[in-house]
Amino acid sequence: MNKITLPLLLLLALTTACSGPAKESSESEPQIIDSTAKARLDSTLNAFVQAGKVAGASSLIYEDGKEVYFNAFGEADQEAQRAMDRSTIAIIYSMTKPITGTALMTLYEQGAFELDDPLSKYLPEYGESMVFVGLDNDGKPILEKPKRPITVRDITRHTAGFSTNRSLPDLGPIIAAADAGNRNNTLAEMSQKLAATPLWFHPGEKWEYGPSVDVQAYLVEKISGMPYHEYVRANVLDPLGMTETRYVVPEEDLDRLSGVYNKNSEGELSQIPNEQAHSFNVKKWPLTPGGYGLTSTLDDYMKFAQMLVNGGTYNGTTILKPETVKLMATNHLDESVEERSWLPSKGQVGFGIDFAVRLKEPATPEENNGAVGEFFWDGAATTLFWVDPLNKLTAVFFVQVMPFDGTLHKDFRDAVYGPIK
**Residues 40-66: tens digit of each pLDDT:** 999 999 999 999 999 999 999 999 999
HSE at residue 28, side-chain half, CA atoms within 13 A, is 16
Which of 162, 154, 158, 102 has the alpha carbon at shortest distance from 129? 162
pLDDT at 421: 80
Whether residues 238 and 174 fall in one domain: no
187 within some domain: yes
Domain boundary among 226, 246, 281: 226
Whether residues 215 and 250 fall in one domain: no
Q: Which residues of the chain have pLDDT under 70?
A: 1-30
Terminal C-alpha separation, the chain: 38
Whether residues 148 and 274 fall in one domain: no
CB within 8 A of 99, min separation 6: which ones? 232, 236, 237, 245, 294, 304
Which of 26, 417, 75 has the alpha carbon at shortest distance from 271? 75
pLDDT at 28: 60
Quick one: CA dihedral 128, 130, 136, 138, positive or negative? Answer: positive
39 within some domain: yes
45 within some domain: yes
285 within some domain: yes
What is the layout of strands, in order, in the sheet containing 356-358? 82-83, 66-77, 56-63, 393-398, 384-388, 375-378, 356-358, 349-351
Measured in degrees and rounded to the nearest 5, phi and psi for residue 2 equal -70, 145
Query: How deeply is 170 buried, as exposed, middle or buried, from its count of CB atoms within 10 A (0-12, 13-18, 19+)?
Result: middle
Whether residues 85 and 56 fall in one domain: yes
101 within some domain: no
Whether residues 211 and 136 fall in one domain: yes
pLDDT at 26: 41
pLDDT at 19: 37
Whether residues 380 and 322 fall in one domain: yes
Whether residues 189 and 279 fall in one domain: no
CATH label of the domain that carries residue 136:
3.40.710.10
Q: Residue 310 and residue 312: Cα distance in Å, rounded?
A: 6
Domain boundary among 226, 254, 277: 226
Measured in degrees and rounded to the nearest 5, phi and psi for residue 199 equal -70, 150
Answer yes or no: are the C-beta atoms of 169 and 131 closer than 8 Å. Answer: no
Find the angle CA(381)-CA(348)-CA(92) to the nearest 5 degrees. 20
The structural domain count of the chain equals: 2
25 within some domain: yes
**Cβ atoms within 10 Å, residue 80:** 12
264 within some domain: yes
Whether residues 142 and 257 fall in one domain: no
Listed in sequence order, the DSSP H helices in 20-63 are 35-50
Which residues are 135's β-sheet partners? 141
Whether residues 174 and 244 fall in one domain: no
Whether residues 239 and 143 fall in one domain: no
Whether residues 47 and 74 fall in one domain: yes
Find the helix or strand (DSSP H, E) in which 274 lies.
Answer: helix 274-277
Q: Residue 361 and residue 192: Cα distance in Å, rounded?
A: 42
Which of 127, 112, 115, 321 has the alpha carbon at shortest distance from 225? 112
Domain boundary among 226, 260, 290: 226
Answer yes or no: are the C-beta atoms of 196 and 125 closer than 8 Å. Answer: yes
3 within some domain: no
Find the domain containing 152 and state its range. Answer: 106-226
Tell me if the pTM is above 0.85.
yes
Question: At 339, which amino acid appears?
Answer: E
DSSP state of 339: B
Query: How deeply is 293 buried, as exposed, middle or buried, from its count of CB atoms within 10 A (0-12, 13-18, 19+)?
Result: buried
Whether residues 87 and 111 fall in one domain: no
Q: Residue 119 and residue 389: Cα distance in Å, rounded?
A: 31
Could you list the beta-strand ranges (E) of 265-421: 269-271, 295-296, 313-314, 317-318, 349-351, 356-358, 375-378, 384-388, 393-398, 401-402
By 3-state DSSP, what share of the chain in percent is helix, strand and coil, each rounded to 5? 35, 20, 50
